[in-house]
Structure 1
Amino acid sequence: MARSTERPAAGTPLLQVRDVAVQFQTMDGPVHAVEAVDFDLNAGETLAIVGESGSGKSTTAMATIGLLPGNGIVTSGTIMFEGQNIVGAPESIMRTIRGRSIGLVPQDPMSNLNPVSKVGTQIAETLLAHGLATRKTVDQKVIETLEAAGLPNAAERAKQYPHEFSGGMRQRALIAIGLACNPKLLIADEPTSALDVTVQKTILDQLQRMTSELGTALMLITHDLGLAAERASRVIVMHRGRIVEQGSARQILEDPQQPYTQALVRAAPSVAAVRLRPEAFKRPDAAALTPVAVTEREVEASPVDIAADAAAKPVDNIVEIENLTKTFKVRGKKEDFAAVQDVSLSIPRGETVAIVGESGSGKTTTARMLLKVIEPSSGTIRYEGQDVTALKGAELKDFRQKVQPIFQDPYSSLNPMFTIGKLIEEPLSFYKRGSAKERTARVRKLLDDVALPSSMMSRYPAELSGGQRQRVAIARALALEPELIVCDEPVSALDVLVQEQILTLLRDLQREYGLSYLFISHDLAVVRLISDYVCVMKDGQLVEAATSEEIFTNPRDPYTRRLLASIPGNELDIAV
């Protein structure tokens, strides 16, 4: 299909989807993933498609660009792009449309950027493939494209590999590739789900600015209702492959009509999070809580240390961290890099302490030192009064049973060669907990606890969605009935309904078994719901620490206020 040089006027239908159905052929027979989907997307418009995992939103987007898996097919309906039906179009035609007329920003930058090819080379391939640059001009075009995507020092960045970029920079590189050919339609599939709120805002601002300047229509696939309300003019809500509601963003989110949409809004922690706190998460004595054994010094413009002060209130602390520091050697530099600097905090028994901050703030490094995955450069970590750094042999083995992690990326933390049943049973077998029959029964109970059917036991991680894999990781962490769970972004890959289930599960287990949590998250709305105390980190230092209520209603540090202001949808009035 020849690409028109003129763009449709704003408000003119660029994409018309009519009665589209998508089917996947599986070993168990056909699966109807999308049915009777019908919508328009106008030139220059931003349309958000929201729904839980498996609702069909990404499948709808991939059908639009002709990138369904080999076992997927559009079985009925039409997809009209610029007046031409592209359903069943030859691959030769689709290749001229992809990139040049329809751009794509996929979800996971590390899976979608070639790790052995420089970032500039990958952008150059796109430009050359569509005839938008010559061998002589392509290098300059690459630099201009990276600069337009908001990457500083673009000439140097173009020579680097994806692993040398931060998460936010990799996402900007994907945006640069998606917009390199100045497409008329850009599909962004969860473009910021793994990024902290400030980087997320930067990426979305850059994406909005570029699409606005270019007049590009944007199809935004997301499970974040706050983001949808803030960035889209219209919202489509999908459930089990069908559209259940669509309309203006404010109308859908402030006055949802369908029960499913109402459930999504109620479950969404990132919509008006500062004011919404479901009854299940409320503590009757929330107003009386005091900061977790910390003294707040006078907050100035620069970061300050906040030291532990156990005398402030008698507290039964399961963990006490004092003056913790971790430095790393940096190749080619004389000075060490201080990832964590003089951090002191405590975790009261049966409570949830959250550590928040941007990527690189030191929160995950702090958690890994507590898990004894890495050793601190200085400072002390005491668990139940024992010095964690000195634990060895049987004492260390006992510590590993009592303190369990839930990592951010469930796929990399699950052995792809093990079935789900074996993955969850593995710690029980290693520590010789119960008979084989009892362990199997325990695995079934854990799967039920995290809302997965027992039939999952025979499946492998690759056969599960990201959200399902995360639930398996949580079930495995709970297997040994630990006293402390270190949760490193445990719900970042989950849609809002599953998030609510997992957060409710974590809180219920805490109340039932007296569990303590160290909760690492970039999602401040989730932290608002789950945490009793919040510690804010910046550049390896603790800049503010107080109760959750105090942090979210009366933040003292400018950095904390900036984090809170970046929460998508935090100014919306939502009907619940």
Structure 2
Amino acid sequence: MPSPSERRSSPSPLLQVRDLAVDFRTMDGAVHAVEGVDLDLGEGETLAIVGESGSGKSTTAMAVIGLLPGNGTVVDGSIVLEGRDLVGAPESVMRSVRGRSIGLVPQDPMSNLNPVARIGTQVAEALLAHGLATKRDVDRKVVETLAAAGLPDAERRARQYPHEFSGGMRQRALIAMGLACNPRLLIADEPTSALDVTVQKTILDQLERMTSELGTALMLITHDLGLAAERAQRVVVMHRGRIVEQGPARQILEDPQHAYTQALVKAAPSVAAVRLRPEVFRRASAGGPVAAEAAAPAPVEVVERVTDAAASVADNIVEVEGLTKVFPIRGQKEDFVAVKDVSFVVPRGETVAIVGESGSGKTTTARMLLKVIEPTSGSMRFDGEDVAQLKGRQLRAFRQKVQPIFQDPYSSLNPMFTIERLIQEPLDFYKRGSSKDRAARVRRLLDDVALPQTMLRRYPSELSGGQRQRVAIARALALSPDLIICDEPVSALDVLVQDQILRLLGDLQREYGLSYLFISHDLAVVRLISDWVCVMKDGELVEAASSEEIFTNPRDPYTRRLLASIPGNELDIAV
């Protein structure tokens, strides 16, 4: 097997794809998913394929590794890896190629790891299947492989199951499995899309380090242009199954030629956040004098400052003080403190974002405010009323004034209901107007969220992710609420759809005077929509200030670390 240095010196591309076309057989005939795709990937190179859902990027990658669905077929073109055309190769040949020549890191670690098999067992399967370990030494090699992927205490982790791992740890396990056989090419399909920015950076750093050491070429599938520009040497932009533009990463983002690429760059929040940030912060994020001099004040002082400033602009629709939630843990002496002494306000008609990593207490705080779970201590006031004391008719009125928009538009809508019934259900439950009034209200709501009336008879399965999220927004607006709690409402969406939803939320806020509590781990998105930002870590509020202050002069080291982890945070791209 050639060494990494020998690999990099190879003059010809490792992978050559020419005129690739992939069709899917459906009840309505063939769907042309990929047409005329040409791309090269050199030894040790990182190539990013970007585009929105349905653009053909994952289909192209799955065609390369020979893992198309049963109704998918390569109908034209060639896929040449190390001089061998893989199109039409028998399955026995492809089984030898997968793992040893081409590794794969799939998108969702929880659904791609066997939940009833130990992590070490799953890594061992790959090593044993390709003859890279014997039963005698496989345990040792499994531990070495997991340790190389950055998993601490690898020997103990190898004996654990996927549910005992965090999202970042599960993704490391998949990276370990993908690189276990030292492949020539690694395909990483959205490897960090479900992870927090700090975990995402850690994973990508580890992936970059391992592929560099092994001399492995990396095909990175992503919809995040900031990530692509930061991690790849070259970028391929796909739209509706075709490549519309490709070239050096910086060149593509600094001077996009195709209208679709220009739209992607303009909509990408990771790029937009950097574009809006002044030069002084870019120096700070790199560890300059501003970062060194900034000291984090006590959270109480910051909250008081935010409260005073917000009160001078408008009255507060929500006032939270000393909020704490403790969960008892069966069989353990110490309870788990999910939220500790959190205080903040939501000014009427404005947007307050709560940001932080998974497990920081963001969603628990939102669920307490929704009165889904009861706080252990502290107070929450909505429109001057104590939320904890609301019962009967008052609680019923409160639930009509506060509505949620959830993260996943695929699981938050009942698949058995039509769009009309989904939007009308809150109106029916609270008996708002006559049946004729409710039907008219549903139609007005569809207009508000820019969906055609023809959607009324459709089901969620017939809609795209962005359309589903618009339905969820229409449903939340049905009762004319004063406050909408948005829990990661755009994290599952592509950048173009994400941009549309964020603009829609802004338009609706201006039109109806809505107040938003916006829960997110994506600071780039938060920069675009929020007036105020509260930063949470380990259940505590570590910093709270105006959005401009948080992004231009972050005081807490944790906030600076979050900002520095935004993909593409050091890029200066003008569009």
In structure 2, what residue type is equivalent to 1:254? E
Is contact 1:308–1:344 with CA below 8 Å preserved after alignment?
Answer: no
Bigger shift: 195-204 or 441-450?
441-450
Give 1:283's aligned residue. none
User: Could you say if the C-alpha distance between residues 77 and 445 of structure 1 is closer, same or farther in structure 2, counting changes exceeding 3 Å?
Assistant: farther
Separation in 1, partners of 2:322, 2:10: 58
Q: Distance in 1 between matches of 2:478 and 2:100?
A: 50
**Structure-2 separation of matches of 1:47 and 1:227:** 12
Structure 1 partner of 2:75:
75
CA distance in structure 1 between the aligned counterparts of 2:446 and 2:390, rounded to whole angstroms: 32
Would the aligned equivalents of 2:410 and 2:460 in 1 still touch at CA under 8 Å?
yes
Q: Secondary structure at the match of 1:98?
A: helix
C-alpha distance 487-113 of structure 1, shift in aligned 2 (>3 A):
same
Shift, 1:507, TM fit: 0.2
User: What CA distance in whole angstroms lies between the structure 2 residues aligned with 1:445 and 1:88?
Assistant: 53
1:123 equivalenced with 2:123 (yes/no): yes
Displacement of 1:396: 2.2
Query: 112-121 or 96-105: which moved more?
Result: 112-121
- SS of 2:270's equivalent? coil
Matches within 5 A, 1:210-359: 210-276=210-276, 299-300=295-296, 306-308=302-304, 310=307, 313-314=311-312, 315-359=314-358
Distance 2:431 2:242 in 1: 47
Cα pair 2:405 2:487 within 8 Å, conserved: yes
Give the superposition deviation at 1:303: 7.2
Tell me whether 244-253 or 356-365 shows the greater mean CA deviation: 356-365
Give the stretch that moved more between structures: 387-396 or 161-170: 387-396
What displacement does 1:308 show? 4.1
Please tell me whether the aligned partners of residues 228 and 249 of structure 2 are also in contact (alpha carbons under 8 angstroms). yes
> What's the CA shift for 1:338?
1.2
Aligned counterparts, 1:178-193, within 5 A: 178-193=178-193
In the alignment, the residues of structure 1 paired with residue 415 and residue 326 of structure 2 have an alpha-carbon distance, to the nearest angstrom, of: 33
Partner residue of 1:158?
Answer: 158
Deviation, 1:91, is 1.8
Give the match for residue 533 of structure 2.
Answer: 534
CA offsets per residue over residues 526-570 of structure 1, 9 Å max, x none?
100000001111111111111101111111111111111111112
Aligned counterpart, 2:391: 392
Asked whether the 8 Å contact 2:8–2:215 carries over to 1, the reply is: no
Moved more, 50-59 or 5-14: 5-14
More divergent stretch after superposition (440-449 vs 218-227): 440-449
Deviates more, 1:164-173 or 1:228-237: 164-173
Distance change in 2, residues 1:72/1:305 (3 Å): farther
Matched residue, 1:505: 504
Tell me if structure 1 keeps the 8 A contact 2:275–2:572: no
Output the amino acid matched with 1:555. P
AA partner of residue 392 (structure 2) = G
In the alignment of these two chains, the number of paired residues is 554
Q: How far 1:266 sits from its partner (Å)?
A: 1.0
Structure 1 residues 456, 264: CA separation in 2 closer, same or farther (over 3 Å shift)? same
The answer to whether the aligner puts 1:550 opposite 2:549 as a matched pair is yes
Contact residue 10 and residue 45 of structure 1 kept, 8 A: no
State yes or no: 1:174 paired with 2:184.
no
- Matches for 1:434-445 after TM superposition, within 5 Å: 434=433, 439=438, 442-443=441-442
Change (3 A) 1:387 1:273: same
Alpha carbons 1:150, 1:172 under 8 Å: kept: yes
For residues 20-43 of structure 1, the C-alpha deviation after alignment (integer angstroms, 9 at most, x for no partner) is: 111112223222111111111111
State the 1:459 CA deviation. 4.9
- Secondary structure class of the residue paired with 2:276: coil
How big is the shift at 1:340? 0.9
Which whole-Å deviations, capped at 9, do the CAs of 1:255-283 have from their partners, x for residues lacking one? 11111111111111101514338xxxxxx
Structure 2 gap segments, 5+ residues each = 278-293
C-alpha change, 1:390 and 1:216, in structure 2 (3 Å) is: same
The residue number in structure 1 matching 2:365 is 366
Change (3 A) 1:421 1:134: farther
Q: CA deviation at 1:453?
A: 5.1
The whole-number CA distance in structure 1 between the counterparts of 2:316 and 2:502 is 23
* Aligned mates of 1:135, 1:198 — CA distance in 2: 37
The one-letter code of the counterpart of 2:352 is V
Q: Mind listing any 5+ residue stretches in structure 1 that lack a counterpart?
A: 278-297
Instruction: Specify whether residues 463 and 131 from structure 1 end up closer, same or farther in structure 2 by C-alpha distance, changes over 3 A only.
Output: farther
Supply the distance in 1 between the matched residues of 2:201 and 2:549 (Cα, whole angstroms).
24
| Equivalent-residue separation in structure 2 for 1:111 and 1:162 (angstroms) | 10
Q: Contact 1:306/1:344 (CA < 8 Å) preserved in 2?
A: no
Contact 2:534 2:541 in 1 (8 A): yes
Contact 2:466 2:501 (C-alpha < 8 Å) held by counterparts: no
- The one-letter amino acid of 2:373's match is I
In terms of mean alpha carbon deviation, does 4-13 or 537-546 score higher? Answer: 4-13
1:570 is aligned to: 569
CA shift, 1:17, in A, is 0.8
TM-score (norm 2): 0.90
CA distance in 2, matches of 1:50, 1:222: 5
CA contact (8 A) 1:404 1:482 kept: yes
Please say if residues 350 and 514 of structure 1, whose CA atoms lie closer than 8 Å, have aligned partners that are also in contact: yes
Structure 2 residue matching 1:361: 3-state secondary structure: coil
Distance in 1 separating the partners of 2:569 and 2:473:
29
1:102 partner letter = I
In structure 2, relative to structure 1, the CA distance for the partners of 1:503 and 1:18 (3 Å cut) is: same
Report the residue type matching 2:556 in the other structure.
D
Asked whether the equivalents of residues 325 and 379 of structure 1 are also in contact (C-alpha less than 8 Å), the reply is yes
Distance 1:209 1:429, change over 3 A: same
Q: 1:360 & 1:344 partners in 2: Cα distance? A: 18
Residue 118 to residue 306, structure 1, CA distance change in 2 (3 Å) = farther
1:117, 1:462 → 2: CA distance? 32
- SS for the counterpart of 2:49 is strand
CA contact (8 A) 2:50 2:235 kept: yes
Q: Which residue of 2 aligns with 1:285?
A: none
Aligned to 1:293: none
Give 1:292's aligned residue: none
Q: What amino acid maps onto 1:530 in structure 2?
A: I
CA positional deviation for 1:491: 0.8
**SS in structure 1 opposite 2:41?**
strand
Q: CA deviation at 1:454?
A: 5.0
Offset of residue 300 of structure 1:
4.6
1:117-168: CA deviations, max 9, x gaps?
2222222222222222222222222221211111112122222222222111
Could you say which residue in structure 2 is the equivalent of 1:50? 50
TM-score, normalising length: structure 1: 0.90
Equivalent pair of 2:302/2:545 in contact (CA under 8 Å)? no
Paired amino acid for 2:511: E
Query: Match of 1:358, as an amino acid?
Result: E
Contact 1:305–1:343 (8 Å) recurs in 2: no
Q: Which amino acid is the alignment partner of residue 521 of structure 1?
A: S
Whose helix fraction is larger, Structure 1's or Structure 2's? 2
Whether contact under 8 Å (2:299, 2:544) holds in the other structure is: no
Aligned-residue Cα RMSD (Å) equals 2.4
Q: Secondary structure at the match of 1:373?
A: coil
Structure 2 SS opposite 1:573: coil
Change in Cα spacing, 1:265 to 1:162, as seen in structure 2 (3 Å) is same
Within 2, Cα distance between the matches of 1:222 and 1:94?
Answer: 25
Q: CA deviation at 1:53?
A: 1.6
In the alignment, is the contact (CA less than 8 A) between 1:8 and 1:14 conserved in 2? no
Q: Distance in 1 between matches of 2:466 and 2:135?
A: 43
Alpha carbons 1:303, 1:538 under 8 Å: kept: no
- Structure 2 distance, partners of 1:71, 1:151, is 38
